[in-house]
Structure 1
């Protein structure tokens, strides 16, 4: 395919490409600060010309991005009503996609926004069925509907001559040729969906794509800090050795018997300084030379100034001053450290709602690409889908255990999963606990049936339920069902088709959920 862009396509393409290029210089500047590559442009009169290359870099910009990003810890999704699609979603998001998403979140703090694209994979190239890629604001942008805040178009810069344009239900590969841009490839996507999700930090009405953590005040403070450290370096260079002044000396004191000049350094390294008196013509008497040592310049003013700048950086970034290398005279207690982090934790918690919107949109895009469609039924099944995050604070194990015990005491009949979340368990640990609890419940039920069969009494299970009819018949039915289920599992793991396996095990009419056991290898 090789065609020109339509008027609508050309208009959207030009607008978004112009946005990427306009923001590029500012985004590169922020990247230089974060990566500690930015050097001062205006040094100041107090720095000698030959010492300008001594300027140090300060990692405050990296701290401003990395510290809050490390407190944002996604941990799967929650769906109150449950759905088989949730398992498919977790299978896709875990692993590579989870790491990619963490990088996108960090990039959004650095450049205010990052963009995550979801496209079908190519099995012939060994790709998974869903390919998720992330781009920084230097490589992508999007347009959103101001009323619904949904993405209406997106642009991904692959190289200087190749750009991908995403429209609802369509992806265009646009290449530069003969000084213009032409569509060289067109592929259909999910109808009415643009497979792009912006991850935004600091989203607001005036700034729908947020704002960077590397603000203009922060960049100014970093420049001031570098100048302060450079002045301190100059002071250390000139005053590291004691400075001496020799008063009343004559030139003859620095010449040998043959009239050759003695090196001042050689004279300085002499074991004992002993100079004869000198006749002073003006005073008409002998004057004894005297040596005086000049006081070394103090580093304290520079240290105090750097400390002041660090406090301003802490105020601007909401990061505890101790994280910036500014150490207090007295070590802080554990309670004081938690109190100093309260603003940081509150700031991160405030942003989790925005990140949740992005994560839920990404989940919908992944499932839409995975199933090849997005239907009203799928939308209903995923109603109430929310992203789960681990606690952005740093509570101790004892504090989490205490909170879990108090919750269980206040709500003895509450949801065990909620209690486990309060205990601080992550999603994988909660899943393992649920599997263990299910096994224990099944074993306990079978033991109850066996005990009731021996006593001929009606069994009462741990959940308070009982059985009707003769106990022997209930026990026999349970044992037969267990044997059939074991046979069905063995046949399925051996690779037998689901329907055939159910028929051979005597379980005709069993309804299977989508998916296969993990031990089954898919056929070619």
Structure 2
């Protein structure tokens, strides 16, 4: 975990220093919880974390059981939130396209969306940049913090760690040296040198911090959202790990079932005990009668345990996890081979996840619209209320979270084109029948080249006709 200790800070006002201290306290308070969410997302949960102290032996407390349910709960929903850029018209659309490409927003959004679902929120920060005109960066709560203003209905101030850990081997010892403080009228760059922090102020005209949160499942009590890996979900993951551990131990005992041999002599007993494994795997076991008792030795084997109770419990836990996260039952590894699920049934099961993705896109769409409006204002060095109608009309676009098949969308596109003739010449039509943007550009370029060649032929024919006359 990263520790923020500002100590002496030069160049801040009393109010800014108070905000910085409050933000540092908030950041440190949440680091422990964020570390737990990281642990469950990466699947680094040991038996020592989940052991009830009843059935699992102490010697296996550090055993790690592979479980990617935490990652699946986050990634399955994030993969259905497919940000496809912004739509608009005129010069504003060209400016926004340059901002999106320069900041690699399509790729960065995918990473930000995962962090948003893992922690409950993610923060986008903006700053003026000589090359990109406006730099847009996303920060998870592991490297940022903010204070919410209920009065204003937005962030009142925030901070973000700008420099990052050089390599994973440095985690735990590395300390940040560049931190940005975002206030209503400035972005203050705090730089540390020899344990002394120096503030460099960059004022702006936005009237609000250049920081906007993307929130998942926020409430009035939790304005910065709630994680997909909440406590109830983590408890189900703990339950699954215990089940797998118990099943593994049971399987070990079933592989080498306990056997017994009664009525042997002392010498025979010593031979057997001297090498138990040899006696177990030997194909022939011979013994004479006991001369002291006259009894013949009796060989037996204890009844093997059954894995079926473990399998039933695993299926029940998986079903509960599916219900808690909206994942389909097949997403958590439960497959019914005796009665395979139809494609319609699978689609119906994923409907809950689709509705969650639509909710996610709606919330993130509002945040992205605010972000791109602030970015345009930074490019032109104006206030938000000075943006043109064309700039305000820029809207984010997301692909269909239901992810219908190409056959379904192509059929819909052809039916629409039959009713609206001009639709067949649009890029949207080509997207619906399965072409991506790279294919669309190639198609458009080749069509333009063919039209040019055809025009040259027509001009040559016209010239030849005039010469003949």
Structure-2-length-normalised TM-score:
0.83
Say yes or no: does 1:237 pair with 2:252: yes
In the TM superposition, what is the alpha-carbon distance from 1:247 to its structure 2 partner?
2.0
The residue number in structure 1 matching 2:23 is 16
In the TM superposition, what is the alpha-carbon distance from 1:367 to its structure 2 partner?
2.2
The residue number in structure 2 matching 1:170 is 186
1:99-118 map, 5 Å: 99-118=107-126
Following the alignment from structure 2 to structure 1, what is the Cα–Cα distance between the partners of residues 448 and 396?
Answer: 25
Say yes or no: does 1:200 pair with 2:215: yes
Contact 2:186 2:202 in 1 (8 A): yes
1:175-254 map, 5 Å: 183-254=198-269
Closer, same or farther in 2 for the Cα pair 1:137/1:13, shift >3 Å?
same
In the TM superposition, what is the alpha-carbon distance from 1:354 to its structure 2 partner?
0.6
In the TM superposition, what is the alpha-carbon distance from 1:186 to its structure 2 partner?
1.3
Following the alignment from structure 1 to structure 2, what is the Cα–Cα distance between the partners of residues 63 and 154?
Answer: 30
The residue number in structure 1 matching 2:136 is 132
Following the alignment from structure 2 to structure 1, what is the Cα–Cα distance between the partners of residues 152 and 455?
Answer: 51
Say yes or no: does 1:287 pair with 2:295: yes
The residue number in structure 1 matching 2:355 is 346
SS at match of 2:327: coil
Contact 2:45 2:65 in 1 (8 A): no
Following the alignment from structure 1 to structure 2, what is the Cα–Cα distance between the partners of residues 428 and 374?
Answer: 36
Contact 1:172 1:183 in 2 (8 A): no
Tell me, which stretches of 5 or more residues in structure 1 are unaligned? 456-524
In the TM superposition, what is the alpha-carbon distance from 1:295 to its structure 2 partner?
2.3
Within the candidate set 152, 157, 160, 1:156 is matched to: 160
Say yes or no: does 1:93 pair with 2:100: yes
The residue number in structure 1 matching 2:334 is 326
Contact 1:142 1:153 in 2 (8 A): yes
Within the candidate set 240, 258, 278, 2:290 is matched to: 278
Contact 1:390 1:424 in 2 (8 A): no
SS at match of 2:209: coil
CA offset digits 1:101-138 (Å, max 9, x no partner): 2211111011011112121235xxxx644332221112
SS at match of 2:187: strand
Following the alignment from structure 1 to structure 2, what is the Cα–Cα distance between the partners of residues 78 and 354?
Answer: 17
Within the candidate set 73, 78, 81, 1:69 is matched to: 78
SS at match of 2:122: strand
Tell me, which stretches of 5 or more residues in structure 2 are unaligned? 1-8, 163-174
Closer, same or farther in 2 for the Cα pair 1:53/1:398, shift >3 Å?
same
Structure 1 runs, 4 residues or longer, greater than 6 Å off: 176-179, 431-455
CA offset digits 1:398-434 (Å, max 9, x no partner): 1111111122234446684554554455556566666
The residue number in structure 2 matching 1:31 is 38
Following the alignment from structure 2 to structure 1, what is the Cα–Cα distance between the partners of residues 273 and 360?
Answer: 73
Contact 1:55 1:230 in 2 (8 A): no
Closer, same or farther in 2 for the Cα pair 1:152/1:446, shift >3 Å?
farther
Following the alignment from structure 2 to structure 1, what is the Cα–Cα distance between the partners of residues 94 and 345?
Answer: 42
Contact 2:185 2:208 in 1 (8 A): yes
SS at match of 2:126: strand
Contact 2:262 2:297 in 1 (8 A): yes
Contact 1:83 1:382 in 2 (8 A): no
Contact 1:203 1:354 in 2 (8 A): no
Say yes or no: does 1:305 pair with 2:305: no
Following the alignment from structure 2 to structure 1, what is the Cα–Cα distance between the partners of residues 204 and 446?
Answer: 41
RMSD after superposition: 3.4
In the TM superposition, what is the alpha-carbon distance from 1:85 to its structure 2 partner?
2.0
CA offset digits 1:285-317 (Å, max 9, x no partner): x21111112222111111211111111111111
In the TM superposition, what is the alpha-carbon distance from 1:78 to its structure 2 partner?
1.4
- Computing the radius of gyration from Cα coordinates, the structure with the larger value is 1
SS at match of 2:181: strand
